A and B are shown apart, each in its own frame.
Chain A
């Protein structure tokens, strides 16, 4: 067992390799039961009276460790010393990763796991006592400390190369492992002995190479480049989404409240609702005599006006030019609207198209006295009337919908990016909750 409950790192000791006489430095001489000679790769066990005995030859490492053995750093609130390096692979598959054994004099072992440039700080129940509450069931997910961890991967890990010192016989370790992810965290469930119901749980947290390099004073250039998306790599898009998804409904409510307040301060009111008789102009085809409506007043300094123009046309059309004229300064607004309404009965079915009504919205009309000049024309010269209705300060629904749409654009974008990111993450898993292309 690693030496724990100390107040500082123990003094290191040098031992001589029984085979090649190379000097091996042990950083936890009391606690480490096994070590590897970096010169001849002998896997050495210390038996009674700390006598080194060669067990077998350890396979040589394929990659030089990024963190040097013996380097010290403050990480996650604990002082660690790197005392071991392990290369592992998945049984019957080509996936390989690296682990750095970190020794802390108070709690014992933790490690960094590195796969495709993605680093995870992993520690057991000595560092996270709540892991003790978990038990070995065959879950699809784990609820742990308010997070739901979803099954991401299952595999058997095989040690392919080692360096440094250990307190257990790592070469014989064939851990059956399940990974459960809740980025940036990951829980590893390891069963060393097949067929048993007991398991060890470890909690991992995604670590950026920069923070590891800073903590262990290592050149960041030595760290491998990230490839793809790590199993527990936090998503910046998820962070953006979770920061706005609760805010957006509040902002939409705020838009509604502002709408109600403006409606209360500037209530909608009708300034005209009249039928106007129209007379055909016998000198022009389809045209009627223009006419002027009674005046009306807008009290507010700036108002929106909503016009509704109706006529009882039947299988015909009507076009009218309406000019809103300010009687004080002759400022005017002109709008030409067409109404078409056709209907019939064909092949046993009734049909209709068009409408007998047209609507126009005018924006920011200054206060003052106004009248309308009307210039009607119609295909039906028997048409006798036009109905004009004008509301001041109407609810401008297009403003409401456009504002809500603009407020929702960024959350929608963040959600789509988050979903895309998660889909790519889960492409590396056999347990993806997303539909995958077969």
Chain B
């Protein structure tokens, strides 16, 4: 119990990391994807800009 008390800040930080890791694992999210990937921003009535890799679909 004393160990947990002394390490509580680390524990909160660790649980946040593990929480996001779990969310990513269950939803097929990579912390970063291949740098050469670009996503189109205009498809079927969607004109939102997503990220910096915007391009027009061929």
Residues of A within 8 A of B (CB): 239-240, 242-244, 246-247, 251, 254-255, 258-259, 262, 265-266, 300-305, 323, 325-326, 328-337, 359-365, 373, 375, 392-393, 396, 398-400, 402-403, 406-407, 410-411
Q: How far apart sit A326 and B3, CA to CA, in the bound complex (Å)?
A: 51
Q: Judging by beta carbons under 8 Å apart, are A399 and B25 in contact?
A: yes
Residue B24 CB within 8 A of the other chain: yes
Q: How far apart sit A301 and B27, CA to CA, in the bound complex (Å)?
A: 8
Among candidates B4, B7, B18, B39, residue contacting A333 with C-beta atoms closer than 8 Å: B39
Contact mask for chain B residues 44-56; partner A; CB cutoff 8 A; 1 contact, 0 none: 1010000000010
**Majority SS of interface residues in chain B?**
mixed
Residues of A within 8 A of B17 (CB): 403, 406-407
Q: Judging by beta carbons under 8 Å apart, are B57 and A330 in contact?
A: yes
Interface residues on B, range: 35 or more
Pair count A-B, CB < 8 A: 133
**Majority SS of interface residues in chain A?**
mixed
Give me 8 A-to-B residue pairs in the complex whose CB atoms sit less than 8 angstroms apart, sorted by A's number.
A242-B3, A255-B21, A262-B25, A304-B28, A304-B30, A335-B38, A361-B33, A407-B14
Given contacts A361-B30, A399-B31, contact A334 B40 (CB under 8 A): yes
Q: Judging by beta carbons under 8 Å apart, are B36 and A329 in contact?
A: no
Q: How far apart sit A243 and B6, CA to CA, in the bound complex (Å)?
A: 6
Considering only CB atoms, which chain A residue lies closest to B5 in the complex?
A: A243
Q: How far apart sit A331 and B43, CA to CA, in the bound complex (Å)?
A: 5
Within residues 1 to 39 of chain B, which ones have a CB less than 8 A from any CB in chain A?
2-4, 6-7, 10-11, 13-14, 17-18, 21-22, 24-34, 36-39
Considering only CB atoms, which chain B residue lies closest to A321 in the complex?
A: B58
Q: Judging by beta carbons under 8 Å apart, are A360 and B7 in contact?
A: no
Q: How far apart sit A244 and B29, CA to CA, in the bound complex (Å)?
A: 29
Q: How far apart sit A336 and B22, CA to CA, in the bound complex (Å)?
A: 30
CB distance from A317 to the nearest CB of B (A): 16
Considering only CB atoms, which chain B residue lies closest to A329 in the complex?
A: B44
Q: Judging by beta carbons under 8 Å apart, are B29 and A398 in contact?
A: no
Residues of A within 8 A of B40 (CB): 330-334
Residues of B within 8 A of A393 (CB): 28
Residues of A within 8 A of B21 (CB): 255, 258, 399-400, 403
Considering only CB atoms, which chain A residue lies closest to B57 in the complex?
A: A332
Q: Judging by beta carbons under 8 Å apart, are B26 and A265 in contact?
A: yes
Q: Judging by beta carbons under 8 Å apart, are B36 and A332 in contact?
A: no
Most chain B Cβ neighbours within 10 Å, of A243, A329, A337, A402? A243
